[in-house]
């Protein structure tokens, strides 16, 4: 188990893999979600570019910019003390030349306060990953369903379902480990593929829709809490009904405002001594 109270580091994660102790990652996008996720004991907080969909209302992660990521990463790191905060490099950023990738990752760390970055894909982004690792920036990889490539993949589909694509994923995982990533997200791949990858790597795998044999799991905050997320992927297990509670609370507030029962006496400030000054003689006439 990652020690409560102690900061989670890359060493913690490799120790957890060695001890067969499962790693829990959850996305966070702002100060309150970071505080709550950390209070719930998450080892890693991912400032995922999924914020484009669950926070900003886009229909994919493609429109998310580096500015968006820096802005949200700042808020998350203000709300977290113990968990390792990882921030996504947004669409196309890891494909730029070495200097641009380093500048972008540097901003997420220096301005945002992230302690690692996550990069989607494999071969096309290996030079950028290697540049970051050489510069001392920890990189988490991400293969399988890579949402930034949704338009090329033709939708949010399970990857690696046949022998050839499964073998390709295993090879990609090995190349990413060789390039120095400290952990690897496996998204929407069959359990058999995720297990094989997990057993052949010495770095931890973190699964999402990848079965129970990965070294850890990640879920999107709004999905696991059912907080305003309309699309519910089948691999998500809802652990709370925050959205329903929020609507119920707001409905009651609106009703009480309309009927005039809010604010009641206990939520009202009083200063009887000022009455005469405010109304002067008028009040006496009443």
- List residues forming the annotated binding site for Mg(2+): 49, 88, 120
Span 127-186, contacts to ligand KIV by CB under 6 A: 142, 185
Three-state DSSP string of the chain: CCCCCCCCCHHHHHHHHHCCCCEEEEECCCHHHHHHHHHCCCCEEEECCCHHHHCCCCCCCCCCCHHHHHHHHHHHHHCCCCCEEEEECCCCHHHCCHHHHHHHHHHHHHCCCCCEEEEEECHHHHHHHHHHHHCCCCEEEEEECCHHHHHHHCCCCCCCCCHHHHHHHHHHHHHHHHHCCCEEEEECCCHHHHHHHHHHCCCCEEEECCCCCCCEEEECHHHHCCCCCCCCCCCCCCCCCHHHHHHHHHHHHHHHHHHCCCCCHHHCCCCHHHHHHHHCCHHHHC
Count of residues of this chain found to bind ligand KIV when the rule CB under 6 A is applied: 12
Complex with ligand KIV: residue 2 or 27, whichever CB lies closer? 27
Q: Give the nearest residue (CB) to ligand KIV.
A: 48
Could you say whether residue 27 binds ligand KIV (CB under 6 A)?
yes
Could you say whether residue 49 binds ligand KIV (CB under 6 A)?
yes
* Interacting residue with ligand KIV among 125, 183, 208, 225 (CB under 6 A): 208
* Interacting residue with ligand KIV among 2, 24, 43, 48 (CB under 6 A): 48
Q: Hey, which residues are catalytic here?
A: 187
Q: Which stretch binds ligand KIV (CB under 6 A): 14-22, 41-49, 93-101, 191-199?
A: 41-49
Span 210-229, contacts to ligand KIV by CB under 6 A: 218, 220
**Binding site for 3-methyl-2-oxobutanoate: which residues?**
49-50, 88, 118
Complex with ligand KIV: residue 231 or 250, whichever CB lies closer? 231
Complex with ligand KIV: residue 10 or 98, whichever CB lies closer? 10
Could you say whether residue 64 binds ligand KIV (CB under 6 A)?
no
* Site residues (vs ligand KIV, CB under 6 A): 27, 46, 48-50, 88, 142, 185, 187, 208, 218, 220
């Amino acid at each position: 188990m990652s020690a409560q109270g102690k900061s989670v580091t890359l060493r913690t994660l490799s120790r957890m893999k060695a001890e067969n102790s499962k790693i829990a990652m959850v996305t966070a996008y702002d100060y309150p979600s970071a505080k709550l996720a950390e209070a719930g004991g998450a080892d890693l907080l991912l400032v995922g570019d999924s914020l484009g969909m669950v926070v900003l209302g886009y229909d994919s992660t493609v429109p998310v910019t580096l500015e968006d990521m820096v802005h949200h990463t700042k808020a998350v790191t203000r709300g977290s003390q113990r968990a390792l905060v990882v921030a996504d490099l947004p669409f196309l950023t890891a494909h730029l030349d070495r200097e641009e990738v380093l500048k972008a990752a540097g901003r997420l760390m220096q301005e945002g306060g992230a302690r690692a970055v996550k990069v989607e894909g494999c071969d096309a982004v290996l030079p950028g990953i290697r540049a970051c690792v050489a510069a001392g920036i920890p990189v988490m990889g991400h293969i399988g369903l890579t949402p930034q490539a949704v338009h090329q993949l033709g939708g949010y589909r399970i990857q690696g379902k046949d022998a050839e694509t499964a073998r390709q994923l295993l090879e990609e995982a090995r190349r990413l480990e060789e390039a120095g990533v400290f952990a690897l997200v496996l998204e929407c791949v069959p359990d058999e593929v995720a297990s094989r990858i997990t057993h052949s790597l010495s770095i931890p795998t973190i699964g999402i829709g990848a079965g129970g044999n990965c070294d850890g799991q990640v879920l999107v905050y709004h999905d696991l809490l059912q907080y305003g997320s309309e699309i519910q992927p089948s691999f998500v297990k809802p652990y709370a009904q925050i959205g329903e509670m929020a609507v119920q609370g707001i409905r009651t507030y609106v009703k009480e405002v309309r009927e005039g029962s809010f604010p009641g006496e206990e939520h009202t400030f009083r200063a009887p001594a000022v009455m005469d000054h405010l109304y002067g003689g008028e009040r006496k006439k009443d």
